[in-house]
Amino acid sequence: MIVAITFLFCLLFGRFFYVQVIWSEELGYRALDQWTRELPIVAERGKITDRNGVVLADNSTAYTVFARSNAVKDTEGTAALLSQVLHMEQETLYERLTKKKASEVTIAKKVGKGEIANLSELSLDGVYYSRDNIRYYPKGDALCQVLGFTSSDNVGTTGIEKYYESYLAGKRGELLYETDLVGIEIEDSVAAYLPAENGYHVELTIDYGIQEIVESTLEKMANAYDPNAASCIVLDVNTFEVLALAGYPSYDLNEVPREDAALLNTLTRNRTISDVYEPGSTFKIITSAADIEEHLQGNPKAFSTSYIFPSSRTRFVDGTTVKCWSNHANGKHCNQTLSDALNTSCNPCFTDIALSLGKETFYEYLAAFGFGKKTGIDFSGEAYGLLLAESVVRDCDLARIGFGQTIAVSGIQLACAAASAVNGGYYYTPRLVKRIYAEDGYVLQTAQTEVKNRTISEEASKILREMLEGVVREGSGKKAYIEGYRVGGKTGTAQKYENGRIAVGKYVSSFVGFFPADEPKYLTLVTVDQPQGAYYGSVVAAPCAKEIFEGIISLKNIQPRTSA
């Protein structure tokens, strides 16, 4: 019996300890919730700015009006007065005020300061209001596919707004009133105030000045060629910070077409990050980089920069035919070096490189340059790209990958790979956000620039830069040439596929370029989907890159080089 009694006392003591010590905080909150009613205090959502402090997403103040039907003494009179102040139907308000199933009902949202001032003068029993924030975007459609937007409840739905929701949202506060059993406020009760914690501000890597240039250039191109879509990214070659990222068509972030789901999905999709396409000849940058590096490493299967590729314009691989766009008439484009092949964009030369290096070696470079996997950019919905498994690749597949077919990439993948190829072989993780900080200046988080991996050597990168500068100076990229400045790049014109077959007359035109060519700082990739009239990357996309670079030169006051 002594043991039994001792056991019972231990149980009781354990229960008391659990209730009074371990469970006490939660029970306190439950009790507080029973004898109080709260007015929400909305936290101010953090701002989004560019790297120079230009505000891209901000807040405007509005109010939410709500009522507790149990505390409303004159329902008809209250409905009539609210109708006058809020310009709403009196019958609708009366129905809301007489709802018995909910202790608290929302009367109106996004109410202006003037209406609230009038409401305050009335001092209606059981009617309350709280401040709310409305998200607005001072630049309208600028960066619309990057910034994203919020829901009606001010929660991030797409883009940066969604990805960094936990930082931007903040934590709401409360104003607590003591009430009786049915929720009516007790006279002379003391209110308790729990302040809201405002959200952190997010500073992007974007340079709004460059962003304006890119968006203006895409608009001009779209007016001239009426494409299905177009996109452009500008990277800092030495950090992979995204300086500009734009898509066409765009939409006004302050007037989001929420009622049309299909249209909304089309307009909000960030094609550079989420869509994939066959890169075509722009991919020859990667094939060239691999060949140059392997030759420097002493691989006998690699071709030297002075090697003369056979003059034949056709290659036959596993029963498939690879042709050059030129018929080589009158000796034109015959006997080409690698530099010449880049200038003229001759496919069979790059087929030779891929096949000579072999599947294993070539796939090592594809992995190093990030194809078939995400770059890790801080944005939702990034595509992996499409890359055949090494185990199933045939020679004909490898041959076509060498010049940018039988592989699909995202714009961000190709831009990062090209940037690594010309910056000395350094591959970084691309970033859209530079830092996260509080209103008082406290910095919560700063993005670090760290080398993810090496792709090629400094020497190979230097050789490649000189070759790509030649493409702009005297090859297919001439329309990107800028007098007095050293620009490098590569054009691309890829056929589109529909239902597994080549779609006749449908192309993706592109150009990837960088400058200064000897010490790269800026890289841009322009991609145009199904331009009308002309479709070559040299005609459609290269002039866009030139205009963007000229805009950056003017914006940053970059002086020409006398030896250019």
pLDDT digits (tens, 9 = 90+) for 512-539: 999 999 999 999 999 999 999 999 999 9
CA-to-CA distance for 22 and 8, rounded, in angstroms?
Answer: 20
Active-site annotation holder among 281, 410, 420, 476: 281
- Non-local (6+) Cβ contacts of 349 within 8 A are 309, 336, 338, 341
Judged by average pLDDT, the poorest of 142-156, 341-355, 449-463, 498-512 is 498-512
Beta bridge partners of 524: 234, 513
Closest-CA residue to 82 (of 70, 96, 61, 99) = 96
What is the overall mean pLDDT for the chain? 89
Residue 66 predicted with pLDDT over 90: no
Confidence of residue 121 (pLDDT cuts 50, 70, 90): confident
CA atoms of 380 and 159, how far apart (whole Å): 7
More confident residue, 192 or 81: 81
- Averaged pLDDT, 420-428: 98
Which tokens is 305 given? Answer: 């920069």
**Ranges assigned E (strand) in 34-191:** 36-41, 48-49, 55-67, 105-111, 127-136, 173-178
Taking a C-beta distance cutoff of 8 angstroms, is the pair 345, 491 a contact? yes
Same fold, 36-204 and 208-556: no
The pLDDT of residue 213: 98
Mean pLDDT for the stretch of residues 477-493? 96
Q: What is the mean pLDDT of residues 428-437?
A: 97
Query: Catalytic residue at 281?
Result: yes
Q: Of 1.10.8.60, 1.10.287.1080, 3.40.710.10, 3.40.50.1100, which CATH number belongs to 208-556?
A: 3.40.710.10
Best CA proximity match to 199, nearest among 168, 228, 227, 223 = 168
In angstroms, how far is CA 35 from the centroid of its own chain?
Answer: 47
Residues 404 and 492: beta-carbon distance below 8 Å:
yes
Q: Which two tokens stand for residue 504?
A: 């006749």
Q: CB count, 10 Å around CB of 543?
A: 18
- Report pLDDT for 330: 41
* Contact between residue 397 and residue 386 where contact means Cβ atoms under 8 Å apart: no
Residue in the structure block whose two tokens are 């999709």 = 269
Angle in degrees, CA 292, 295, 296, rounded to 5: 85
What six digits make up the tokens of 290? 């691999």
Which of 88-97, 148-157, 380-389 shows the lowest mean pLDDT across its residues?
88-97
Share above pLDDT 70 across residues of the chain, in percent, rounded to a whole number: 89
Q: How many CB atoms lie within 10 A of CB 99?
A: 12
Banded model confidence at residue 16, pLDDT cuts 50, 70, 90: confident
Task: For the domain made up of 36-204, give the CATH fold.
Answer: Penicillin-binding protein 2a (Domain 2) (3.90.1310)
Q: Say if CB 203 and CB 437 are below 8 A apart.
A: yes
Structure-model confidence comparison of residues 314 and 460, the more confident one: 460
Element (H, E) at 121: helix 113-122
Say how many C-beta atoms besides its own lie within 10 A of residue 394's C-beta.
Answer: 14
Please state the domain extents for the chain. 36-204, 208-556
Measured CA to CA, the distance from residue 340 to residue 304 in angstroms comes to: 13
